[in-house]
Amino acid sequence: MAIAVFFFASWLVCVAFAVMQKKLSLVENTFVYLIILIVSINFLWIIIEEFKLITLTKNGVDYTAYILNRSVIIPMLIIMQLNLIQKSNSVAKSAVIVIATVAIMLGLSVLSTQFNITTNIKWNFGYDVIYFLTLHLIGYYVFKTFRKIAYREVKNT
């Protein structure tokens, strides 16, 4: 069941992203996606494998659902909200977008525990919220820095 749910969620975010009106270029979207992927993989590895704050399923099919959440759903949601934020013209609207994406990520974390993909040992959903908000911040500043550096024009002296 878990694999069907997470595969559907992965498919949904990919298709939604493909059809949405984008404010970031392909290169910008890819760059932010990859940075979030790197951060997400490293962070989850450290808290799961090194600090054992969460335990992970030993079932191969359920493990695939975890990989989909870590490597597809979370980075895709970050770039989707980034595109939506760039389109929104008010702080309130941006805040609603961030709250909505954090809520979706949190919902998937709850589902992960319900399906026994993950078991929180010394971890709780509050930490998840902090982690997801941090990913949003990283995504935003990576994008801003990338735009500043990548498209900086060489000044003539």
Partner 1 sequence: MMLYENFDKNEIYILSMLIIAYGAFFLFPKKLPRDVTSMFLVWGFAYSTFFDFTIGGGLLDFYKVNDSNKYELFDLLTYFPFATFSYFFIYFYERLKIDKKKFLFYVIGWTIIGLVMERISIWMEVIHYQNGYKQYYSLIVFLVVQTVTGLYYELIKRQHKY
Q: List residues binding partner 1 (CB under 8 A).
A: 25-28, 30-31, 34-35, 37-38, 41-42, 45-46, 49-50, 56, 58, 60, 63, 67, 71, 146, 149-152
Taking the complex as a whole, the smallest distance from the CB of residue 65 to partner 1 amounts, in Å, to 12
Taking the complex as a whole, the smallest distance from the CB of residue 100 to partner 1 amounts, in Å, to 26
Taking the complex as a whole, the smallest distance from the CB of residue 137 to partner 1 amounts, in Å, to 18
Alpha-carbon distance of 122 to 143, in angstroms, equals 32
Taking the complex as a whole, the smallest distance from the CB of residue 122 to partner 1 amounts, in Å, to 18
Residues 53 and 46: beta-carbon distance below 8 Å: no
Alpha-carbon distance of 96 to 147, in angstroms, equals 24
- Residue closer to partner 1 (CB basis): 33 or 102: 33
Residue of 74, 60, 62 lying closest to 9 (CA atoms): 74
Residues 80 and 90: beta-carbon distance below 8 Å: no
- Residue closer to partner 1 (CB basis): 49 or 107: 49
In the three-class reduction of DSSP (H, G, I as helix; E, B as strand; rest coil), residue 75 is classed as helix
- Residue closer to partner 1 (CB basis): 24 or 129: 24
